[in-house]
């Protein structure tokens, strides 16, 4: 079968209309037969069921249930959620430009986007939304509130907010918001640049190219770190364009293969590259998926970059968006994609399910070996394996609880309100003093911070069992001593994990003054991934050894 090299645009949430191929003939009788049966069941239930039914809800539930038996990426998108889906691929929407979260029945503004309506109106992280257009937000989810805040650019929304004890109103004019795909770029030292890419929206490659050009123009750039950690993917065309920045024109980036011949396509670079020689390090983790894996896997296949971090997510599937009646849409998986070495990084076979309906990852023993252009071994069926593995350190229960209970977030808010204009150092250099950390510990005590560990849960089970079996009176002194020692150890955890907690506090505080870019800049100094990337980029022999096949 002749493979097609195309120059069009395709996305990992792919849009477009594709005809049927003569190589595949659907069983129209089976489709028609079961469609007729379903229509009859739906009609009979709605006409004769003993209680009133909601046809729309029944139909949506039936569709969602049907698609859930396929894969997580084949989804029904009702008309009211189509706009949200567009935001994922374009990064654009009409609104105030802020993220929100529901916590304990309250709607908290988590972060205003720098330079957009909420920020220009003076809204700050930590503000609580009380009313919108005169209506209380009690009982509404963050999704509900997000929908209310979004709207056509130029329209106005009145928001009542609470900041500490102060309650005030703001009339904010919605505007066209474009979320940046590159929230931060800068220099790690005099010669090594760093760019973060958080999503593959339609301007991702332009943003990276602009950042890269500026870094080269203003510095003696001798290496670049491209950070794709936590990047869930997006447009396939942008994965090709980003890769094209670092490899030559006419190079294969990815193939797609599906049931229909029209879905077997090869995507090549179309433009003159920016730089095919500069040493590259790409950072990935378990949250790097889809388009991120294409970029990392392709540059790895060409021995163009050292990939550092953890094995990526393993999503080697391509989706296409199909228009449905009444403004709704469906995103359906149509193909798998393959990097230039021939590997498909898809980690889960959704076509084969266990007896309980669950799906399993491809075991390492069944992964097939492929070779990079330089002869290095790479494997399919389980995401992109890094050339240098970075083991994530175990996060303590204390740190997890501080995050879940928004203690890190709330203290940063408190800090900012108490120090509105006192940060004079660059965000990368900001550090909390030991005295300030002690203030944080005292603040936690005032807030009644408490958390439970597995040890604590087992201790409570011991007390319950002892009481039930009539042993408690005999051992209550020992249990009381054990509980006291356990509680003291929990308090000591704030000192044992002091450095980790300080890092998180410093990052969160910097986001109050310098937005998301401040958070990222502050985190780089203690980032193990970045440390390993610098080690490789600054050591020519080490880098060449990694990118050269062993003989």
List the catalytic residues.
290, 301, 315
Instruction: Please tell me the distance from the alpha carbon of residue 141 to that of residue 509, in angstroms, as a whole number.
Output: 26
Instruction: Please tell me the distance from the alpha carbon of residue 181 to that of residue 204, in angstroms, as a whole number.
Output: 5
Q: How many CB atoms lie within 10 A of CB 407?
A: 20
Q: State the Cα angle at 300 between 299 and 305, rounded to 5°.
A: 70
Instruction: Give the alpha-carbon dihedral of 300, 305, 306, 308, to 10 degrees.
Output: -80
Instruction: Please tell me the distance from the alpha carbon of residue 551 to that of residue 533, in angstroms, as a whole number.
Output: 25
Strand, helix or coil for residue 345: coil
* Residue appearing with tokens 């808010």: 413
Give the total residue count for the chain.
Answer: 551
Asked if 547 and 374 count as a contact pair (C-beta separation under 8 A), the reply is yes
* Residue appearing with tokens 């550090």: 431
Sign of the C-alpha dihedral computed for residues 258, 262, 268 and 269 taken in this order: negative
Instruction: Please tell me the distance from the alpha carbon of residue 301 to that of residue 253, in angstroms, as a whole number.
Output: 10
Of 228, 152, 220, 233, the closest CA to residue 189 belongs to 220
In Å, what is the CA distance from 200 to each residue of 87, 231, 284, 364?
12, 8, 15, 29
Q: How many CB atoms lie within 10 A of CB 185?
A: 23
Asked if 170 and 189 count as a contact pair (C-beta separation under 8 A), the reply is no
Asked if 300 and 387 count as a contact pair (C-beta separation under 8 A), the reply is yes
Q: What is the 3-state secondary structure (H, E, C) of 480-516?
A: HHHHHHHHHHHHHHHHHCHHHHHHHHHHHHHHHHHHH
Instruction: Please tell me the distance from the alpha carbon of residue 87 to that of residue 199, in angstroms, as a whole number.
Output: 11
Residue 241: in which H helix or E strand, if any?
helix 236-244
Instruction: Please tell me the distance from the alpha carbon of residue 466 to that of residue 473, in angstroms, as a whole number.
Output: 8
Beta strand pairing call for 166-173 and 175-178: unpaired
Beta strand pairing call for 128-132 and 156-163: antiparallel
Q: Under 8 Å CB-to-CB from 34, ≥6 apart: which residues?
A: none
In Å, what is the CA distance from 434 to each residue of 50, 99, 318, 410, 413?
68, 32, 50, 19, 19
Asked if 256 and 336 count as a contact pair (C-beta separation under 8 A), the reply is yes
Q: Under 8 Å CB-to-CB from 457, ≥6 apart: which residues?
A: none
Report the greatest alpha carbon distance in the chain. Answer: 82
Instruction: Please tell me the distance from the alpha carbon of residue 68 to that of residue 75, in angstroms, as a whole number.
Output: 8
């Amino acid at each position: 079968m002749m493979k097609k090299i195309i120059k069009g645009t395709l996305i990992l949430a792919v849009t477009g209309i594709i005809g049927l191929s003569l190589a595949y003939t659907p069983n129209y009788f089976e489709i028609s037969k079961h469609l007729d049966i379903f229509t009859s069941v739906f009609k009979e239930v709605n006409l004769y069921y003993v209680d009133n039914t909601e046809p729309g809800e029944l139909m949506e539930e039936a569709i969602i249930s049907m698609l859930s038996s396929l894969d997580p990426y084949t989804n029904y998108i009702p008309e009211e959620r189509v706009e949200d889906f567009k935001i994922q691929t374009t990064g654009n929407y009409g609104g105030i430009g802020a993220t929100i979260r529901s916590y304990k029945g309250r709607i908290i503004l988590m972060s205003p986007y720098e330079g957009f309506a909420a920020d220009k109106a003076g809204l700050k992280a930590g503000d609580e939304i009380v009313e919108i257009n005169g209506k209380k937000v009690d009982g509404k989810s963050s999704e509900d509130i997000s929908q209310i805040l979004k709207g056509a650019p130029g329209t106005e929304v009145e928001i009542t907010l609470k900041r500490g004890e102060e309650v005030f109103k703001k009339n904010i004019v919605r505007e066209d918001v474009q979320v940046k795909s590159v929230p931060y770029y800068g220099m790690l030292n005099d010669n090594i640049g760093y760019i973060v890419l958080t999503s593959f929206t339609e301007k991702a490659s332009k943003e990276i190219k602009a950042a890269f050009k500026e870094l080269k123009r203003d510095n003696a750039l001798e290496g670049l770190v491209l950070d794709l950690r936590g990047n869930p993917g997006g447009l396939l065309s942008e994965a090709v364009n980003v890769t094209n920045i670092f490899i030559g024109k006419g190079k294969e980036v990815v193939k797609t293969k599906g049931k229909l011949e029209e879905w077997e396509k090869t995507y090549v670079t179309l433009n003159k590259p920016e730089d095919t020689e500069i040493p590259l390090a790409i950072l990935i983790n378990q949250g790097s998926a889809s388009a991120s894996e294409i970029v990392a896997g392709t540059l790895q296949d060409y021995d163009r970059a050292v990939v550092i971090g953890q094995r990526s997510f393993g999503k080697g599937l391509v989706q296409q968006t199909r228009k449905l009646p009444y403004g709704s849409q469906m995103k359906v998986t149509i193909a798998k994609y393959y990097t230039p070495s021939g590997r498909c990084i898809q980690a889960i076979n959704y076509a084969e399910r266990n007896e309980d309906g669950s799906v399993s990852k491809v075991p390492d023993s069944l992964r097939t070996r492929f070779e990079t252009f330089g002869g290095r071994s790479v494997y399919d069926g389980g995401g992109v394996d890094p050339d240098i593995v970075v083991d994530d350190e175990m996060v303590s229960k204390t740190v997890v609880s501080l995050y879940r209970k928004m203690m890190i977030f709330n203290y940063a808010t408190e800090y900012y309100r108490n120090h509105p204009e006192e940060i004079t150092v660059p965000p990368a250099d900001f550090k909390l003093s030991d005295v300030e950390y002690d203030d944080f510990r005292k603040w936690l005590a005032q807030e009644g911070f408490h958390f439970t560990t597995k040890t604590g849960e087992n201790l409570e089970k011991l007390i319950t069992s002892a009481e039930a079996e009539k042993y408690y009176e005999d051992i209550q002194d020992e249990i009381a001593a054990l509980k006291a020692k356990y509680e003291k150890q929990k308090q000591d955890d704030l000192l044992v994990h002091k450095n980790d907690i300080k890092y998180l506090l410093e990052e969160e505080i910097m986001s109050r003054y310098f937005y998301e870019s401040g958070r990222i800049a502050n985190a780089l100094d203690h980032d193990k991934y970045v440390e390993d990337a610098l080690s490789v980029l600054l050591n020519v022999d080490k880098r060449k050894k990694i990118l050269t096949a062993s003989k």
